Amino acid sequence: MISLYQSLIDIEPLLHKPVRQMSLGQRILSNILAAFLHNPKIVFPDELTIGLDVSMKAKICILIQTLNKENKTTAILTTHDIGDVDALCRRIIIIDKGKMLYDNDIEYLKSFFGSYRTLKIRMNENLNEKA
């Protein structure tokens, strides 16, 4: 398994590195590999890339995509990061306060919300306008 992912994520340097010396991204990467070690049919990563830099985030997304493709493992993400959803998911279910609000693909979701932004500005009327 290691040789398969060596070119994707460069895991070799981490094989003998103590966990306490690993960065957050390296620990998450190692945990993902450990979760997939026995080829599970389904995994439930929670906030998979929270707090990671762009480079490590990309490595983790590539790893999850590859594991899904090669091993047919389903990953059910719980995340607030729409970038992760866009990169990894074909089907999206949005749940809020225990109620399912959306169950469809990402393209359908983007057609509703992709080009719209709402900006709310509250102005204080008592602002001193000295410049």
In a structure prediction context, what are the per-residue pLDDT tens digits for the chain, which is 131 residues long? 555 556 666 777 888 889 899 888 888 888 888 888 888 999 898 888 888 888 888 888 888 888 888 888 888 888 888 888 888 888 888 888 999 988 998 888 777 666 666 778 888 776 666 55
Q: What pLDDT does residue 99 have?
A: 92
Asked if residue 123 is part of any domain, the answer here is: no
Asked if residue 53 is part of any domain, the answer here is: yes
Q: What pLDDT does residue 120 have?
A: 80
Residue with tokens 């983790």: 60
Q: What pLDDT does residue 51 have?
A: 83
Asked if residue 125 is part of any domain, the answer here is: no
Q: What pLDDT does residue 114 have?
A: 63
Asked if residue 124 is part of any domain, the answer here is: no
Asked if residue 118 is part of any domain, the answer here is: no
Asked if residue 120 is part of any domain, the answer here is: no
Asked if residue 61 is part of any domain, the answer here is: yes
The CATH number for 7's domain is 3.40.50.300
Q: What pLDDT does residue 2 have?
A: 52
Q: What pLDDT does residue 128 have?
A: 64
- Residues 52-77: b if buried by 16+ CB within 10 A, e if exposed: beeebbebbbebbeebbeeeebebeb
Say whether pTM exceeds 0.85: no
Asked if residue 79 is part of any domain, the answer here is: yes
Strand stretches in the chain, DSSP E: 42-43, 74-75, 91-96, 99-105
Structural domains counted in the chain: 1
Look up the domain containing 63 and give its range.
Answer: 2-113
